[in-house]
């Protein structure tokens, strides 16, 4: 990561801060990890769930830190200190200042919500780029500055990385950015200093209760996107989702609120004309204007995602006709109901659905295009909110056949996780298979399928590894699905050859 040449006065940037050992600190680089310290940098002593950054300040100084940002004076170091009540928020503000406040010079769409963030971000960028407006993207699938792309590590990266990517977008003359803002990032102040032209809230349903405690805490975290809006910005809410729609009551009076809906009664509405395994035909209406769209993306929830992206594109002055062309140009969002084609006589989809709401919507989206049985393979992550596991089982019960398996068990016993899930499915489901080995589970689901059936492989989506214990083991549902489909085809041919013999 290239160091910025800017010098930032902390006294000017943080006027309520106090100082120890100096009257001001001029910062040219700031880091939050003591291992990353270089001579002359500012070390942000951030305290998290497992570490107290203050205890690492002496090591940071040994590595060259010339000053420390901390929430209390530290007697253990002999360098200038800047004292602030919230180190993480101040560090984020410093990070953006060092990059010369890039979001002031970008058209930024910030997206939060339980489900759909990645798809909406992908669609927003796709629409803008199809209309000659280059865009960057920061989210769960990838980080892109308009020229360079790298795999994502977090939905919303740490403050320094986040600001750096945005700054690079400006330097690359990228005009727009679609950024996913997770509830953790919003709650922790990791995106303080960011300004957005559009704040999209896709939906707010149950997730991350292990961190936020309950729905009220989770909703409060999502609502922290509101102060990031520029003065002329638009708050874009899903009128079909009570959680999203409820944020309207928290918005300041100057904020323009725009809504979208499939059910009607919103600023932008969508009407589904026809659904098929190859995509969705729907109509978008905004005021007196309307346009027909055939999106290669499958499912009702992707119509909702398309509407959210449409409202953002309208904010930037695009016409519905141009927006429709952009939507039609997006043929796949990695790991989001991504079709797997190996010549099999039934559709197979890989999806990131890892909450009960997402799984319910994915299954509901596939039901109208399934003539036969709907077969679902899924699991639940270890060391995460245990209470959502039986809820995922309840959601999966909408499938005709279920294969319960592992999905990043981490330090937990996969069997314990599976038992939690199965408790929600119930004893009366006609076809529930338990197979903890995820590859074998995918193979069993595919072996069950015949012409007319649909197979959904849920949970990992675009991910390329499986976390077991402390190990990251290469694993990609898309690659595994193709391998298992090829294996099945070979076995079928061998069997047919034996019959002919």
Query: How are beta strands 268-276 and 256-261 bridged, if at all?
Result: parallel
This prediction's pTM: 0.94
Question: For the segment 286-315, what is each residue's pLDDT rounded down to a tens digit?
Answer: 999 999 999 999 999 999 999 999 999 999
Q: How far apart are CA 436 and CA 433, in angstroms?
A: 10
* pLDDT greater than 70 at residue 191: yes
Q: What is the mean pLDDT of residues 26-32?
A: 98
Question: For the segment 89-99, what is each residue's pLDDT rounded down to a tens digit?
Answer: 999 999 999 99
pLDDT of 139: 98
From 38, 40, 9, select the one nearest 25 (Cα to Cα). 9
Q: 91 is written with which tokens?
A: 């560090």
Annotated binding site for ATP: 113-119
Residue 395: CB partners within 8 Å, gap ≥ 6?
356, 357, 359, 360, 363
**How many CB atoms neighbour CB 426 within 10 A?**
12
What confidence category does residue 4 fall into, taking pLDDT thresholds of 50, 70 and 90? low
The separation between CA 171 and the C-alpha centre of its own chain, rounded to angstroms, equals 25
Q: How far apart are CA 395 and CA 155, in angstroms?
A: 25
pLDDT of 50: 74
Residue holding tokens 């990228």? 174
Integer angstrom CA distances of residue 322 from 142, 276, 316? 25, 24, 12
pLDDT of 436: 98
Query: What angle (nearest 5°) sits at the alpha carbon of residue 393, between those of residues 388 and 396?
Result: 125
pLDDT of 5: 60
What confidence category does residue 23 fall into, taking pLDDT thresholds of 50, 70 and 90? very high
Q: Tell me the average pLDDT of the chain.
A: 96
pLDDT of 383: 95
What confidence category does residue 491 fall into, taking pLDDT thresholds of 50, 70 and 90? confident
Question: For the segment 348-399, what is each residue's pLDDT rounded down to a tens digit?
Answer: 999 999 999 999 999 999 999 999 999 999 999 999 999 999 999 999 999 9
What confidence category does residue 207 fall into, taking pLDDT thresholds of 50, 70 and 90? confident
**Which domains does the chain possess?**
8-86 (3.40.1390.10), 99-329 (3.40.1190.10), 338-492 (3.90.190.20)
Q: Hey, which residues does 271 pair with through a beta bridge?
A: 283
C-beta of residue 202 within 8 angstroms of C-beta of residue 113: yes
pLDDT of 16: 98
pLDDT of 1: 53
* pLDDT greater than 70 at residue 2: no
Q: Which of 82-86, 180-184, 213-217, 250-254 shows the lowest per-residue confidence on average (mean pLDDT)?
A: 213-217
Annotated binding site for meso-2,6-diaminopimelate: 384, 407-410, 459, 463
Annotated binding site: 113-119, 155-156, 182, 188, 190, 384, 407-410, 459, 463
**How many CB atoms neighbour CB 246 within 10 A?**
15
- Kindly state the percentage of the chain with pLDDT values over 90: 91
Question: For the segment 112-158, what is each residue's pLDDT rounded down to a tens digit?
Answer: 999 999 999 999 999 999 999 999 999 999 999 999 999 999 999 99
pLDDT of 288: 97
pLDDT of 3: 46
What confidence category does residue 212 fall into, taking pLDDT thresholds of 50, 70 and 90? confident
SS3 call for 389? helix
Phi and psi angles of residue 261, each rounded to the nearest 5 degrees, phi first: -165, 145
**How many CB atoms neighbour CB 142 within 10 A?**
16
């Amino acid at each position: 990561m290239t160091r910025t040449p800017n010098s930032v006065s902390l006294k000017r940037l943080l006027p309520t801060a106090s100082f120890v050992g100096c009257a001001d600190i001029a910062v040219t680089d700031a880091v939050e990890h003591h291992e990353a310290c270089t001579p002359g940098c500012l070390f942000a002593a951030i305290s998290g769930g497992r570490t107290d950054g203050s205890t690492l300040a002496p090591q940071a100084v040994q590595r060259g830190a010339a000053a420390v940002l901390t929430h209390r004076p530290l007697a253990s170091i002999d360098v200038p200190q800047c004292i602030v009540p919230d180190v993480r928020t101040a560090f984020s503000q410093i990070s953006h200042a060092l990059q010369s406040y890039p979001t002031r010079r970008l058209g930024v769409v910030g997206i939060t919500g339980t489900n759909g963030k990645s798809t909406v971000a992908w669609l927003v960028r796709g629409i803008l780029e199809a209309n000659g407006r280059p865009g960057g993207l920061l989210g769960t699938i990838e980080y892109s500055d308009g020229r360079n792309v790298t795999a994502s590590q977090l939905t919303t990266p740490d403050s320094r990385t986040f600001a750096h990517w945005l700054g690079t977008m400006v330097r690359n003359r990228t005009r727009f950015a679609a950024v996913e803002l997770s509830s953790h990032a919003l709650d922790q102040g990791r995106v303080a200093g960011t300004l957005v032209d559009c704040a999209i809230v896709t939906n707010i349903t149950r997730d991350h209760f292990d961190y936020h405690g309950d729905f009220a805490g989770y909703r409060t975290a999502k609502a922290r996107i509101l102060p990031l809006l520029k003065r002329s910005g638009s708050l874009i809410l899903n009128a079909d989702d009570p959680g999203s729609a409820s944020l309207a009551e928290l918005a300041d009076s100057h904020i323009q609120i725009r809504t979208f809906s499939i059910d009607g009664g919103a600023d932008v509405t969508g009407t589904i004309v026809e659904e098929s395994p190859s995509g969705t035909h729907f109509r978008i209406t905004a005021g007196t204007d309307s346009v027909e769209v055939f999106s290669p993306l499958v499912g009702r929830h992707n119509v909702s995602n398309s509407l959210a992206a449409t409202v953002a594109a309208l904010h930037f002055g695009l016409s519905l006709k141009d927006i429709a062309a952009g939507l039609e140009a997006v043929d796949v969002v990695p790991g989001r109901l991504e079709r797997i084609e190996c010549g099999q006589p039934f559709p197979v989809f890989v999806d990131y659905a890892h909450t009960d709401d997402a799984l319910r919507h994915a299954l509901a989206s596939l039901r109208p295009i399934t003539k036969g049985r709907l077969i679902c393979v899924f699991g639940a992550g270890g060391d995460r909110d245990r209470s959502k596991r039986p809820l995922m089982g309840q959601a999966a019960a909408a499938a005709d056949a279920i294969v319960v398996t592992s999905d990043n068990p981490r330090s937990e016993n996969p069997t314990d996780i599976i038992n939690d899930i199965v408790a929600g499915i119930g004893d009366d489901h006609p076809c529930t298979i338990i197979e903890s080995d995820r590859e074998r589970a995918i193979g069993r689901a595919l072996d069950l399928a015949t012409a007319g059936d649909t197979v959904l492989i849920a949970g990992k989506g675009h991910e390329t590894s499986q976390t077991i214990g402390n190990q990251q083991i290469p694993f990609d549902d898309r690659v595994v699905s193709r391998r298992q489909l090829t294996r099945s085809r070979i076995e079928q041919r061998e069997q047919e050859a034996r019959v002919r013999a």
